[in-house]
């Protein structure tokens, strides 16, 4: 029974391979286990624990779901939570050394601080845009010499004015009633110090930028996260006591904080303290006298999520929006199944 429980709940890390990687907890696979879907049982086992959260990063545990659900959630975060990004660049003047198309591409990848939930998607054939679906930005910069610079100066920051075009020089031009709507939420690039281009005296940029709502699967510039990933919770079990010099060697085989050494009756004894910090390098399995003392694995239904926002929306808001999108997908799927059932009965 213990072996079956291990197969169902743990992925095992062997010296040269992995085992129990396939999903096996489907109904009827094991005669002594009831793995049929049960909503009450699912609600009892499912939980989300927030481990850490800042304005840009969030780490949380999602426990009690299958890998397919966790991966669907990750993909939604990457590709289906909408944001606002620069889509159209109207170039009235560009005398810099950067080609128009390269400049437009660079501008498109700049994250814009604007709540996409307050905007509509622009219609496919609409080239002008409306206050409901478009944000307009302006970038006008001209490089000149600094008349107050010393003759011996060599630093471009001292010799020239506006020779670095930064995102802080992008100005929001409200359309319609946007100035009233977003009075408390000024629209601007997430970071003020992103370098757009470098100029020299006589060179200038005169651009108008249109930001629209989109999703990451259409273009990466609309992705709201710099990264969204998950890993399974490491599981480390000492099958026999590890003492003395072996305990010190075992500690060095893992990431700092995973194994600690305690004094027990005058002997150094290894103890697993925080397997979460382990990177699963399997270094311990390279030692013949240690690999029989430790069992490595990962908990199959315990996912450690890491979400890093681009700064457009806080990570907790992104996670909430991803949950809403996944729920909408589920409702649509159920609706289609009901339609299919009705048509079959006819």
| Residue 175 and residue 69 share a domain | no
- Cα dihedral across residues 97, 102, 108, 110: positive or negative: negative
| Residue 151 is assigned to a structural domain of this protein | yes
| Residue 314 and residue 216 share a domain | no
* Domain harbouring 137, CATH code: 2.170.120.12
| Residue 136 is assigned to a structural domain of this protein | yes
Number of domains in the chain: 3
| Residue 278 is assigned to a structural domain of this protein | no
User: For position 276, what pLDDT does the model report?
Assistant: 94
Cite the beta strand spans of the chain per DSSP E: 10-13, 18-19, 47-53, 57-63, 83-94, 112-113, 135-142, 144-145, 160-161, 164-166, 170-173, 188-189, 195-198, 204-214, 225-238, 259-264, 267-272, 294-309
| Residue 91 and residue 206 share a domain | yes
| Residue 218 and residue 90 share a domain | yes
| Residue 318 and residue 255 share a domain | no
Helix (H, G, I), strand (E, B) or coil at 302: strand
* Domain harbouring 339, CATH code: 3.30.1360.10
Residue 157: beta bridge partners?
none
Burial of 211: CB neighbours in 10 Å, binned 0-12, 13-18, 19+: buried
User: For position 342, what pLDDT does the model report?
Assistant: 83
What whole-number distance in Å separates Cα of residue 105 and Cα of residue 117?
Answer: 24
| Residue 164 and residue 50 share a domain | no
DSSP codes, 248-268 = HHHHHTS-TTTEEEEEETTEE
| Residue 89 and residue 176 share a domain | yes
| Residue 76 and residue 94 share a domain | no
| Residue 280 is assigned to a structural domain of this protein | no
- CA-closest candidate to residue 20, choices 209, 221, 271, 301: 301
pTM over 0.85? The answer is yes
| Residue 259 and residue 300 share a domain | no
Residue 11: beta bridge partners?
298
Entry field: residues in the chain:
346
Helix (H, G, I), strand (E, B) or coil at 154: coil
| Residue 66 is assigned to a structural domain of this protein | yes
| Residue 119 and residue 30 share a domain | no
Please identify which residue in the block is written with the tokens 């400049």: 103
| Residue 279 is assigned to a structural domain of this protein | no
User: For position 30, what pLDDT does the model report?
Assistant: 77
User: For position 311, what pLDDT does the model report?
Assistant: 94
**Domain range for 299:** 1-81+224-237+293-346
User: For position 343, what pLDDT does the model report?
Assistant: 82
User: For position 101, what pLDDT does the model report?
Assistant: 96
Please identify which residue in the block is written with the tokens 């010190």: 248
| Residue 329 and residue 259 share a domain | no
Encode the chain (346 residues) as per-residue pLDDT tens digits.
Answer: 457 778 888 899 998 999 888 877 778 777 777 888 888 988 999 999 999 999 999 999 999 998 999 999 999 999 999 999 999 999 999 999 999 999 999 999 999 999 999 999 998 888 888 999 999 999 999 999 999 888 888 899 999 999 999 999 999 999 998 988 887 778 999 999 999 999 999 999 999 999 999 999 999 999 999 999 999 999 999 999 999 999 999 999 999 999 999 988 888 999 999 999 999 889 999 999 999 999 999 999 999 999 999 999 999 999 999 999 999 999 999 999 998 888 887 7
Residue 13: beta bridge partners?
18, 296
| Residue 207 is assigned to a structural domain of this protein | yes
| Residue 131 is assigned to a structural domain of this protein | yes
| Residue 218 and residue 228 share a domain | no
């Amino acid at each position: 029974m213990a072996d079956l429980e291990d197969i169902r709940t743990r992925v095992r890390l062997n010296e040269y391979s992995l085992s129990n990687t396939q999903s096996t907890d489907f109904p009827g696979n094991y005669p002594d286990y009831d793995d049929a879907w049960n909503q009450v049982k699912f609600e009892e086992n499912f939980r989300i624990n927030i481990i850490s959260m800042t304005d840009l990063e969030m780490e949380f545990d999602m426990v009690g779901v299958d890998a397919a659900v966790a991966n669907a959630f990750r993909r939604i975060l990457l590709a289906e939570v909408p944001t606002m990004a620069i889509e159209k660049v109207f170039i009235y003047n560009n005398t810099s050394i950067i080609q128009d198309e390269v400049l437009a591409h660079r501008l498109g990848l700049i994250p814009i601080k604007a709540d996409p939930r307050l905007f509509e998607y622009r219609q496919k054939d609409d080239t002008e845009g409306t206050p409901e679906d478009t944000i307009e930005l302006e970038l006008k910069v001209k490089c000149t010499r600094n008349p107050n610079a010393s003759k011996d100066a060599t630093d471009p920051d001292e010799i020239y004015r506006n020779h670095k075009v930064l995102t802080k020089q992008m100005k929001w031009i409200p359309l319609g009633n946007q100035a009233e709507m977003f009075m408390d939420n000024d629209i601007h690039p997430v970071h003020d110090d992103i370098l757009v281009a470098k100029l020299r005296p006589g060179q200038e940029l005169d651009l108008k930028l249109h930001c629209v709502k989109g999703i990451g699967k259409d273009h990466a510039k609309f992705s709201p996260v710099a990264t969204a990933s998950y890993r399974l919770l490491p599981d480390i079990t000492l099958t026999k006591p590890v003492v003395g010099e072996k305990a010190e060697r075992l500690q060095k085989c893992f990431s700092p904080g995973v194994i600690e050494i305690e004094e027990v009756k005058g002997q150094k004894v290894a103890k697993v303290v925080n397997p979460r910090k382990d990177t699963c390098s399997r270094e311990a399995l390279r030692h013949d006298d240690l690999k029989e003392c430790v069992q490595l694995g990962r908990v199959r239904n315990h996912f450690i999520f890491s979400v890093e926002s681009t700064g457009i929306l806080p990570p907790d808001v992104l996670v909430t929006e991803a949950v809403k999108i996944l729920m909408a997908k589920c409702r649509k799927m159920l609706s289609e199944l009901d339609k299919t059932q009705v048509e079959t009965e006819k």
